[in-house]
Amino acid sequence: MSLYPAFLDLKGRRCVVVGGGRVAQRKVGPLLRAGARIWIYSPTLTPVLDRLKEKGLIRHLPRRCDSRGLKGASLVFCATDLHEENERIASMARGLGIPVNVASGDAQSTLIVPSAVRRGPLMIAVSTSGASPAMSKGIRLELQKYYGAGFSGYLKGLSRLRQKALKDLPPAKRRRLFKRLGSSDIIRRIRAGDISSPEDALQDLSPEG
């Protein structure tokens, strides 16, 4: 299977999850972090999902999902424990041109959710194109060791500095600055804990000639 890698902006977009068990619960967490509007079709919910419903963070529809329930959705997740139901929903989503992920990982999916490392603005996604989800997880665990919490603070500071530089510096100087602040040496030093912010890095960089 040949896949096209992409990151999606789901803020404010409607995403449908069919199923209310633990698998559905795992799908909901990343969607919430992305700012999606989540609709769940399921007769029952896990206690965690029920609390999210009470807080108004998800919308729960305790009935069977039909094609009308999918219209306008940006993504659909089939997360029931019934193969036939997942297949039915996936078929409807494909017919409507909506990317769909089937939790069982079968050929019904047009969207594979990668195993991801998140460090603030940094996101590193790993996929084996469905060949081995277990290996994707293993690689993610290795990456977590190399890209620790220090990258989150550094990148948040770099984002603020970038906004200022876009206003104050000419293009050529901006490019040189951000090339230096994103170099392999800087990455190594963040990993080692030697620097925690772009300001730390700038103090140590030699002046440009």
pLDDT 10s digits, 62-115: 999 999 999 999 999 999 999 999 999 999 999 999 999 998 766 689 998 888
Binning pLDDT at 50, 70 and 90, where does residue 207 land? low
One-letter identity of residue 182: G
The predicted model scores a pTM of 0.84
Decide if 45 is inside a domain: yes
In total, the chain counts a number of residues equal to: 209
Q: Is 174 exposed, middle or buried (0-12, 13-18, 19+ CB in 10 A)?
A: middle
Distance of CA 118 to the CA centre of its chain: 8
Task: Give the pLDDT of residue 209.
Answer: 38
CATH number at residue 25: 3.40.50.720
Task: Give the pLDDT of residue 206.
Answer: 53
Domain match, 99 and 156 both: no
- Asked if 88 and 66 count as a contact pair (C-beta separation under 8 A), the reply is no
- Asked if 125 and 5 count as a contact pair (C-beta separation under 8 A), the reply is yes
- If one counts the domains in the chain, the total is 2
Domain match, 101 and 161 both: no
Decide if 23 is inside a domain: yes
Decide if 131 is inside a domain: no
Task: Give the pLDDT of residue 87.
Answer: 94
Range of the domain at 27: 14-113
Which conformational region is residue 154 in: left (phi greater than 0), alpha (psi within -120 to 50 degrees), or beta? Answer: alpha
pLDDT above 90 as % of the chain: 83
